[in-house]
């Protein structure tokens, strides 16, 4: 687990990130960093390790520390576990303006036609062979059984403990005074309640 710095060799701008797998090929997933990589080319970026960490919590804390200390140009968020990556950016208005003005790419009818029916790549023999090879030896979802993490007792116990003590939100129907969870109540009560008098 490392904190790394990816530097643009052309202009000196850099990005601070965390990598739990310490993959030397991984330069970072930052929005501005990836725009810069497209513009200047991957060969013009170098990655260096600035700190080793022992846990995910430490990784998050140290990423926040290094971003606040070095103030990298390519970082939008404050670091840590992620979250809102735009609101805290000094060029917030500029980023929003760029996002608003970017062209919307829609598939033309011609392009859609090339993907339909027998033209669908997933129907080609070579593509189907690749898909088949990738799935070979892996159980289907309906065969997972105990391999499904949500069915394992220790996982279910963890979920149960996490949900304990969290009050379930209930609402009351104004026509029949029945209480229940919002999704069911909206479906069967209020405007759909059998006790509601027709207006």
d(CA 85, CA 72): 14
- Residue range 150-166, pLDDT digits in tens: 677 887 888 888 778 77
- Residue range 4-42, pLDDT digits in tens: 999 988 888 899 988 888 888 888 888 888 888 888 888
| Nearest of 15, 85, 13 to residue 50 by alpha carbon | 15
Tokens for 42, please give them: 């991957």
The CATH number of 2-93 is: 3.40.1440.10
pTM for the complete prediction? 0.43
Q: How high is the mean pLDDT in each 10-residue block of the chain (199 residues)? A: 88 87 83 86 88 85 85 79 59 75 68 74 82 78 63 80 79 88 84 76
Collapsing DSSP to helix, strand or coil, 105 comes out as coil
d(CA 14, CA 24): 16
């Amino acid at each position: 687990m490392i904190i790394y710095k990816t530097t643009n060799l052309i202009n000196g701008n850099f990005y601070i990130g965390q990598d739990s797998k310490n993959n030397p090929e991984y330069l970072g997933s930052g929005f501005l960093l990836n725009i810069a990589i497209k513009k200047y080319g991957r060969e013009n970026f170098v990655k260096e390790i600035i700190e080793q960490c022992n846990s995910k919590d430490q990784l998050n804390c140290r990423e926040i520390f290094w971003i606040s200390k070095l103030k990298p140009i390519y970082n939008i968020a404050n670091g840590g576990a992620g979250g809102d990556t735009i609101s805290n950016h000094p060029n917030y208005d500029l980023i929003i303006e760029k996002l608003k003005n970017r062209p919307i790419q829609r598939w033309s009818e011609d392009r859609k036609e090339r993907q339909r029916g027998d033209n669908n790549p997933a129907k080609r023999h070579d593509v189907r062979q690749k898909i088949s090879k990738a799935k070979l030896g892996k159980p289907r979802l309906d065969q997972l059984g105990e391999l499904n993490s949500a069915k394992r007792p220790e996982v279910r116990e963890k979920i149960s403990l996490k949900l304990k003590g969290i009050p379930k939100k209930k609402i009351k129907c104004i026509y029949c005074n029945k209480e229940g969870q919002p999704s069911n109540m909206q479906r069967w009560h209020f405007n759909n309640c059998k006790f509601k008098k027709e207006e």
